[in-house]
Amino acid sequence: MTRILGAILGGGRSSRFGSDKALAMLDGVALIDRVAAALGQQVDALIVVGRSHPGLTAVADRPAPDLGPLGGIAGALHHAAAGGFDQLLTVPCDAPFLPYDLRRRLAAAGPAAFLGDLPVIGWWPAAAAPVLDHLLDGGGSRSVRAFADRIGAVAVADALIANVNTPDDLARLAAQRD
């Protein structure tokens, strides 16, 4: 049976948002808590990478902070491999409306897949950790797409998943909910 680890990438600086967007409220619930609730239903265990948050196991970016999403994915991949997980499902802390069947959609594309419109949402084999380490050590592109290309991940065209980068983005999402 395949064991799946869910990882919320939460180590960003929120520079465009102006404050810690993971803790920004939408309908009275912090964005990170919305993401945890949606992702937690689709995985065997759940972590947060690049920060701490009550109720979640915290994992550090790897090999160091400030490497963008790849540092978070690397930390999560190593945690997954060390914990005996086969697959990793990554999502950002600022995508509060994840589909209930996100895991199924990505897994159907193959052992490695990501959303073409939002590549930090990805389905990664835990065994890919050394490939990502090599990419981060090499000093080349530090984009999620570069990692995805190295492991042959499939870009999945899917309905756009809203993510919050600015206070205006959050206000638009809140207005759509009214």
The region of weakest confidence among 40-49, 61-70, 136-145 is 136-145
Model confidence at 178, pLDDT cuts 50, 70, 90, reads low
φ/ψ region of 66 (left if φ > 0, alpha if ψ in -120 to 50, else beta) reads: left
Set out the domains of the chain in order of their start, with CATH numbers: 4-177 (3.90.550.10)
Residue 24 CA: distances (Å) to CA of 21, 47, 153:
5, 19, 32
Provide the annotated binding site. 9-11, 21, 61, 94
Provide the annotated binding site for GTP. 9-11, 21, 61, 94
Mean pLDDT computed over 11-40 = 88
pTM: 0.94
* pLDDT the model gives residue 33: 97
Provide the annotated binding site for Mg(2+). 94
